[in-house]
Amino acid sequence: MKTDIIKTLKFNIDVERRYQAILTKRQKISDKNKELKELLEQYADDLSPVQNELLENSTKLEQLTDDIWALIPFDEIAFEKYANQMYQNIMTTIVNDITLSNNTINFANMDNKQRADFGTRLFQKLAQRYGEKNHTKLKFEIKDIESGQKSGGYDWKNTICIAPHEATDFTNFILIFSHEFSHYVYIKQPQKSPLTAQQINIAKKHYYSPPSISNKKAFERYKNQPFELPSYKLMDYFTEHNFIEKLAIALKQSKIILYTNKKKRPLGRFFYLTTSGSFLRPRLCVF
């Protein structure tokens, strides 16, 4: 923890100087654009030179944004540590909570309200594990996303949401949840993220909102910006390290099962829900 705090509080003076120099260049171009736009409004003649300059300036501004992003290089070592912690924390949170465990087993049979309740409980329990004192204010929603990405989102405050079509499959659910929870960590728990507080501040100020997924070039640019790249790589990490399969094994080994009657019924590839009464007690899952 101490090392993480030192990392977060560390302020890179050289990065700040370079950042301010880029901002000065951006401001000059923005001021020039304002003058050019005023010319466009005043004259009805052929102003193609003005329009061309505006287009050139747009390209320059985009390049300057890239220069700002370059001040926040991707740190493989910090990311690996961060991703492993997130992986273990989500798995431990689910396995150690009887409600989350049984909801995971029964996910395919739940409706959106039940899945949203599951997401809220997971969000709150996981945030509490990360040190969040106001975890009860956190909530999870399943709803259509306004952005072009239309899969998930975090409002940079207290709410994570996932689109309905992404919430039907548990694998998608967990991958998108981990992605959005990582944004919560950047904003609320920066000392536990792979970025420093200074880097997060710069990345937030120059955040590139998600375009339509059909615009492949713009979407790749969006995915590779400093605020998004670690979150997308986190999804890859969960997939490459077989999170779902290992979670299934961990749940089996935990021997947690919900009893409601004497019948056994299959719940997918990994589990059977064994029932006998309305109380909880440990028992090995039946395969």
List phi, psi (to 5°) of 159.
-125, 130
Ranges of beta strands (E only) in 95-186 are 139-142, 152-154, 159-162
Nearest-angstrom CA–CA distance, 272 and 287: 6
Same domain, 287 and 239: no
Are 190 and 197 in contact by the 8 Å Cβ rule? The answer is yes
Measured CA to CA, the distance from residue 230 to residue 228 in angstroms comes to: 6
Same domain, 216 and 175: yes
Same domain, 90 and 216: yes
Residues 7 and 112 in one domain: no
- CA dist 66 and 44 (Å) reads 35
Instruction: For residue range 264-281, list pLDDT tens digits in order.
Output: 443 433 333 333 322 233
**Is 231 in the same domain as 166?**
yes
pTM given for the model: 0.79
Alpha-carbon span 56 to 50, nearest angstrom? 10
Alpha-carbon span 255 to 215, nearest angstrom: 47
What is the SS3 assignment for 265? strand
Residue 10 has pLDDT above 80, yes or no: no
* Distance of alpha carbon 131 from alpha carbon 116, whole angstroms: 22
Give the residue-averaged pLDDT of 103-107. Answer: 94
Same domain, 55 and 138: no
Count of domains for the chain: 3
Domain identity same for 57 and 153: no
Residues 146 and 186 both lie in one domain: yes
pLDDT of residue 2: 44
164 and 139 in a single domain? The answer is yes
End-to-end CA distance of the chain: 41
234 and 105 in a common domain: yes
Give the domain extent around 43: 2-69
**Which of 24-28, 41-45, 60-64, 155-159 is the least confident region?**
41-45
Strands 152-154 and 159-162: antiparallel
* 164 and 142 assigned to the same domain: yes
> In the listed set 53, 69, 85, which residue is the last one of a domain according to the structure?
69
CA dist., res. 137 & res. 122, Å (int):
13
Query: For 227-266, how does the pLDDT look when each residue is reduced to its tens digit (9 = 90+)?
Result: 999 999 999 999 999 999 999 999 988 854 443 333 444 3
Tell me the pLDDT tens digit for each residue of 106-142: 999 999 999 999 999 999 999 999 999 999 999 999 9
Judge if 206 and 144 occupy the same domain: yes
